[in-house]
Amino acid sequence: MADDVLPSHPHAGEPVFDLHLGGKMATVPTADVSTRDQLSLAYTPGVAEVCEAIAADPEMTRHYTWVPNTVAIVTDGTAVLGLGDIGPAAAMPVMEGKAVLFKQFGGVDGIPICLATTDVEEIIETVVRLAPSFGGINLEDISAPRCFEIEDRLKEALDIPVFHDDQHGTAVVTLAALSNALKLTGRTPESTRVVISGAGAAGVAIAKILLAAGIKDIAVTDRKGVVSSDRTDLTSAKKALAELTADQCGRRGTLADAFDGADVYIGVSGGTVPEEVVATMADDAIIFAMANPNPEVHPDVAHRHARVVATGRSDFPNQINNVLAFPGIFRGAFDVHASAITEGMKVAAADALAALVGEDLSEDLVIPSPFDPRVGPAVAAAVADAARRDGVARI
């Protein structure tokens, strides 16, 4: 933004505010309209021919508009990063950032949409009405358990990909890193015991993708302990989660009970796990403490009791970062004009990420860097292939 438009601002001189001055994105035309002939083709009268072609065959939208390469980034501002319910206006810098990441790492155009409602019905109705303008919907920072119903109903209502990144992006990258960590420690999915702290959006999605990957012994915990059906305080979402996880392997009790002898800990909850509890894990343990900015188990503590340690932070090795997943997932879905994002596509994305580590696999490298130029194309190709296998590709 030009200095003569905004000569100063309240936080001038502070690098993070200086970077955000005027926002982090803008629309840029791809058509040159600097001559009369070009203007006539790009707008009236020429554009009318394209409009008539689309009216006659809506599939022409795929060829002659930006819609199939554009994702709506939708939030209500109720679960923004680690900040919680800060509202739609305060959520905009995060949604702009998400759009920048879509473009940088996937070549996908993202449009931030911050809704001034937290009502489930209003959110669903609004997104459905907006859907003709987009090739896909990325739900972002919507609190649980509302996010589950919103995603499920939008997937039923729309024939374009709907993806809640807080759930599935986190789950994909977690599975990729865990697959390599299991290989490094000589474990198989079937013989691995996992504890997940946090029964919100990310915890539920991680549990489901680990089950799909063959891990059978999973205990998910919340503030009151293991989410199991012997408890009388469970919501319907947690009841369903209990039936898939702890009920299958007989786990119950406190977080400490779940930790005792566990092979893997995955934290998506915040809070702090006492070191004496961490010390009860199995030999060659795996700890993914992903709360930001403060991991549930600080890496210094984790390394005293685990062989492989990952966090959500960029200043430690093995960052579990959603940017490894969502740009490539949408790129792959858009490349084949997919009608949905399936579980098979998510697992394929995780497998592709894990494979990129290859022979460089080590305790400090179980997941590739977000800046590895192979990441986006590899994920996109794997997702496109999986879409064809799962029957949701339209080209």
CA 232 – CA 235 distance, rounded (Å): 9
Answer yes or no: are the C-beta atoms of 170 and 206 closer than 8 Å. Answer: yes
pLDDT of residue 237: 87
Per-residue confidence (pLDDT) for residue 7, from 0 to 100: 55
Cβ atoms of residues 82 and 271 within 8 Å: no
- The number of angstroms, rounded, from the C-alpha of 160 to the middle of its chain's C-alpha atoms is 17
Per-residue pLDDT, 1:
47
Could you give the residue ranges of the DSSP H alpha helices within 13-65? 15-20, 36-42, 47-56, 61-64
Backbone region of residue 148 per phi and psi (left: phi > 0; alpha: psi in -120 to 50; beta: other values) = alpha
Marked catalytic residue, from 24, 43, 103, 216: 43
109 closest CA partner among 26, 212, 216: 26
Give Dmax over CA atoms of the chain in angstroms.
75
Q: What is the pLDDT along the chain (395 residues), one digit of tens a residue?
A: 444 455 578 888 889 898 998 899 999 999 999 999 999 999 999 999 999 999 999 999 999 999 999 999 999 999 998 789 999 999 999 999 999 999 999 999 999 999 999 999 999 999 999 999 999 999 999 998 899 999 999 999 999 999 999 999 999 999 999 999 999 999 999 999 999 999 999 999 999 999 999 999 999 999 999 999 999 999 988 999 999 999 999 999 999 999 999 999 999 998 899 999 999 999 999 999 999 889 999 999 999 999 999 999 989 999 999 999 999 999 999 999 999 999 999 999 999 999 999 999 999 999 999 999 999 999 999 999 999 999 999 99
Residue of 24, 98, 155, 346 marked catalytic: 98
Is residue 98 annotated as part of the catalytic site, yes or no?
Answer: yes
pTM of the model: 0.93
pLDDT given at position 271: 87
Question: For residue 54, with 0-12 CB atoms within 10 Å meaning exposed, 13-18 middle and 19 or more buried, which class applies?
Answer: middle
Let me know: does 319 contact 95? Beta carbons within 8 Å.
Answer: no
**Residue 203: count of CB within 10 angstroms of its CB:** 27
Angle between helices 87-106 and 326-335 (to 10 degrees): 60
With residues binned 3-state (H G I as helix, E B as strand, rest as coil), the percentages for the chain, rounded to 5, are 50, 15, 40
pLDDT of residue 182: 98
